[in-house]
Structure 1
Amino acid sequence: MRTTPTLPPKVTLPISELEKKNNPAGAAIPSLSLAKVLLIVNPAAGSRLKRKKLGRIIEHLRRAASSLEIIYTTAVRDATRLVKEKRKDGWTLFLCAGGDGTINEIVNGMIDEDDPASDQTPSPPLGILPTGTGNGLAREIGLPLDPWKAYQALLSGTAKPIFLGRVTRQENPSGAKAHRYFVLLAGAGFDGYVSGWVERRSALLRKIPKLWVYFILGFIGLFVYRYPILHFTADGASYTGSTGVVARARLIAGPFIFSPLSDLRARSLILCLVKPAGPLGYFGMLLPLLFRRKPGKEVQYVEGKVIEAAGEGIIHADGETIGPLPARFTLSEKPIYLVYPKPE
C-alpha cells in the first residue's frame, strides 16, 4: 500500500546552539512550507528509472502545495539563470531534481553576495530529490537515494544553514574577478584535469552514467596527466602538492570518505593536499580509498579560512570546470538553508 506523506502548512524550526553560532546577526531561520514551491528538474540527470519516480512526487505536490511551478533545464548553467530570475518571487521552498552538478547550478543562483538587495530577499530552503548518479550531497546529509523516499524524508525534515565554498579567480587581463560557489568540493590538479575531460566527453560516453565516466577517464588520466607541482597557501602558510582539493564535505565520488575532517556547517575549509606525483603514487592513495573508503597516508589535511592556489592547473567546483589557476578559495559570508532529513 502506498503511503502519502503530509506536511503541516508551516513548521516552526527550533534554533540549536550551532544555528546561533553560525547566525550571529540573529537573521530569521526560514520555516519549511509548501505554500509556494519551485521544482527545478534536470531531465538529463541520472537514470530513467529515477526520473520516472518524479511523476509520483509531482502528483503529490500538485495536491499538497498551494502553488507549484516546475521548470526544466535545457542547457549548462540553465538552472543558475532560472533561479536568479525567480528567487525574489516569494518562494517558500526550492526543490532540485538532479545530481550534484544541478545542485551547484541552483545554489549559484540562490546566493549573490555582490548584490546588496539580496539581503532583503533571502532564498528559501533547498530540498534535494536525488536523481543523479553520484548524489554526493544526498549521501552527505543522510538523505535516501531513492527520490520518493527522499521526498518523504524532506517533508518531515529541518532546514539548517550551510556555508558555501567560494572560488574567486581573475577572469581577464583587465583584472575583473569571477566568483563561483560550491557545496561539496573544489580544487585543482588531477581532479580538475579529469573534470575538464569529462565535460568534453564524446557522444558515446554521454550515454554512460556520469559517475562511471569519471572512473573510466580518471583511470586513463593516471597515465597521461603530467602531474605539475602546484603551490598552495592556507591562512598564509605555504604548501606544495600535485593536487589540492578544497573540501566542504566528507565524501567524494559516492560513499568514499576523502576529507574526514570536513563539515558542511563548519566555518572553515579543509585543504586535502595530495603529495605524490605519478600513477604509482596515486594508486597508493586511491586503493585504500576504494577498498577501505578512506585515502592513504599520501593525503595531508590543512584547515584554513583562506586558501590560495597557483601553478599550471585547471580549477573545478563540484565537478564543473571553471578555468585555469590562480584562484582563491574562501567561505560565503551568508548561509543558504538546506533541508536535512530527521535523524533516525
Structure 2
Amino acid sequence: MSAVAGRCALVVNPTAGRGRAGRLVPTVSAALREALPGTELTIVESRDVEHAESACRQAVADAATVLVMGGDGMAHLGVNACAGTGVPLGVLPAGTGNDLCRGLGLPLQIRDAVKALARGLTHSVDLAHVTKPDGAERWVGCVVSSGFDSRVALRTAAMTVSIGPLAYAWSALAELRTFSPLAYRLTIDGERRGLPAMAVFVANAEFFGGGMRAGPGASVTDGLLDLTVIHPVSRAVLLRLLPSLYSGRFVRHPAVEQLRAREVIVDGDGLIGSGDGELLGDVPLTVRTVPNALTVLG
C-alpha cells in the first residue's frame, strides 16, 4: 500500500495548459483512486486564483496529503499552502512550463507523476522565503527575479491572446526594444553592493520562464541561494544571450556573475519582483533560504 493514505485533496486549475488540466480531471481522478487504494480523495476545481489559494490552504487543514494539478501558478499556491506544515505536496504537471517540477526533479508527465505518487516516497527540499516591504511573506520554489525578466513576466501576464510556450520569448523581444540597465542595491549576506544590471536572479531551484535556467546547477538541498547577476550589456548582446538561458550557457559570458548566499535583499530604482513567475511587487524584497521547508511527494 502507498504511503499516501487517509484523506487526500487534489486542487485543480482547470484552465491550465489551455484547458488541458480540466479535460484530464476524470482520467486523473480514476488513475489516482486506482493507484492509491484506501485513500479518501477529494477533488476541487478552482474558479479563480483566490479560490485556488483558499482551497489549497483548506486542503492542508483537512487532509494528510495535498495534490495540485495545473501549471506553475497552481504549483506555487500548493507550495505556499504546504510550506512549513509538514503536509506532503504532490504536483501533477499540466501547464506549459512546469518549472517547479523541473527544479525539484519531479516527473514532467502526469502518468509518471501518478506512478510516483503511488510509490509514496517523500523528500524534503529547501525553499526561498520572501518578505515584502509591507511585511507580507511568500514562499518561492524556484526563482525570485527582477529587472529585465520581471518586465517580461509582466508583459506576458498582460497578454490577451495565449500563444503557449512562445509567450515569454515574444514578450522578451518586445521588452528589449526599450530596456536599459537598472540601478540595483543588493545586500548579500550583510554585504551591500550598488550596481547597474540587466537582471538579478535569486534561485532556490534553477528554472523559470518555461525551462530557462536562472541559476544553473542550483541545488534544493544545499541550504543556499544561487545569485546570478547579468551586468550591463548592449541590447544586441542581451538578445544573443536570451536563447542560451535555456541551456544555462549564458553564465559563461564575462558580463554574468554567480554567487551563493543565505540571504539576499533586492532593492533598487524602478524594480518589480516576481517569484515562480508570479508578481511579488515592489522592492525591497528580503529573500532567505529555509532548509527542508517543504515535504514533496515523488
TM-score, scaled relative to structure 1? 0.77
Of residues 52, 58, 65, the one that matches 1:79 is 52
Q: Per-residue deviation at 1:319?
A: 0.6
Q: What is residue 45 of structure 1 aligned with on the other side? A: 16
Question: 2: CA distance between counterparts of 1:233 and 1:62?
Answer: 49
Q: What is residue 304 of structure 1 aligned with on the other side? A: 261
Q: Per-residue deviation at 1:48?
A: 4.1
The 5-angstrom pairing of residues 107-186 of structure 1 reads 107-111=79-83, 122-156=85-119, 158-171=121-134, 177-186=135-144
Amino acid of the structure 2 residue aligned with 1:324: D
Contact 1:87 1:123 in 2 (8 A): no
Question: Cα gap change, 1:65/1:272 in structure 2, threshold over 3 Å: closer, same or farther?
Answer: farther
Question: Cα gap change, 1:199/1:69 in structure 2, threshold over 3 Å: closer, same or farther?
Answer: same
Q: What is residue 163 of structure 2 aligned with on the other side? A: 208
Of residues 66, 72, 75, the one that matches 1:94 is 66
Q: What is residue 293 of structure 2 aligned with on the other side? A: 335
**Deviations 1:104-125, CA, capped at 9 Å, x for gaps:** 112212236xxxxxxxxx3421
Q: What is residue 55 of structure 1 aligned with on the other side? A: 26
Q: What is residue 174 of structure 1 aligned with on the other side? A: none
Q: What is residue 5 of structure 1 aligned with on the other side? A: none
Question: 1: CA distance between counterparts of 2:241 and 2:211?
Answer: 16
Amino acid of the structure 2 residue aligned with 1:124: V
Amino acid of the structure 2 residue aligned with 1:34: A
Q: Per-residue deviation at 1:68?
A: 1.1
Q: What is residue 6 of structure 2 aligned with on the other side? A: 35
Q: What is residue 246 of structure 1 aligned with on the other side? A: 202
Secondary structure in 1 matching 2:42: strand
Across the two proteins, how many residue pairs are aligned to each other? 291
**Deviations 1:176-212, CA, capped at 9 Å, x for gaps:** x11111101112111111122222222xx2x332x32
Structure 1: which 5+ runs fail to align?
Answer: 1-7, 10-31, 113-121, 172-176
Contact 1:190 1:243 in 2 (8 A): yes
Q: Per-residue deviation at 1:309?
A: 1.3
Contact 2:263 2:288 in 1 (8 A): yes
Amino acid of the structure 2 residue aligned with 1:199: A
Name the larger-Rg structure: 1
Secondary structure in 1 matching 2:29: helix
Secondary structure in 1 matching 2:52: helix
Of residues 242, 255, 258, the one that matches 1:286 is 242
Question: 2: CA distance between counterparts of 1:213 and 1:62?
Answer: 35
- Which stretch has the larger CA shift, 321-330 or 146-155? 146-155
Q: What is residue 323 of structure 1 aligned with on the other side? A: 281
**Deviations 1:62-87, CA, capped at 9 Å, x for gaps:** 45243111111222243322222332
Q: What is residue 263 of structure 1 aligned with on the other side? A: 219
Q: Does structure 1 residue 222 correspond to structure 2 residue 159? A: no
Contact 1:258 1:294 in 2 (8 A): no
Contact 1:168 1:179 in 2 (8 A): yes
Structure with higher strand content: 2
Contact 2:21 2:69 in 1 (8 A): no
Question: 2: CA distance between counterparts of 1:192 and 1:61?
Answer: 36
Question: Cα gap change, 1:87/1:252 in structure 2, threshold over 3 Å: closer, same or farther?
Answer: closer
Amino acid of the structure 1 residue aligned with 2:264: I
Question: Cα gap change, 1:65/1:94 in structure 2, threshold over 3 Å: closer, same or farther?
Answer: farther
Contact 1:230 1:243 in 2 (8 A): no
Question: Cα gap change, 1:124/1:184 in structure 2, threshold over 3 Å: closer, same or farther?
Answer: same
Secondary structure in 2 matching 1:267: coil
TM-score, scaled relative to structure 2? 0.89
Contact 1:37 1:65 in 2 (8 A): no
**Deviations 1:44-98, CA, capped at 9 Å, x for gaps:** 1114456534422201334524311111122224332222233222x22211111
- Percent identity for Structure 1 against Structure 2: 25
**Deviations 1:313-333, CA, capped at 9 Å, x for gaps:** 001010111111111111236
Question: 1: CA distance between counterparts of 2:267 and 2:104?
Answer: 32
Question: 1: CA distance between counterparts of 2:237 and 2:55?
Answer: 43
Q: What is residue 40 of structure 2 aligned with on the other side? A: 67
Secondary structure in 1 matching 2:27: helix
Contact 1:38 1:69 in 2 (8 A): yes
Amino acid of the structure 1 residue aligned with 2:219: D
Alignment RMSD, CA only? 2.2
Secondary structure in 1 matching 2:182: coil
Question: 2: CA distance between counterparts of 1:320 and 1:77?
Answer: 14
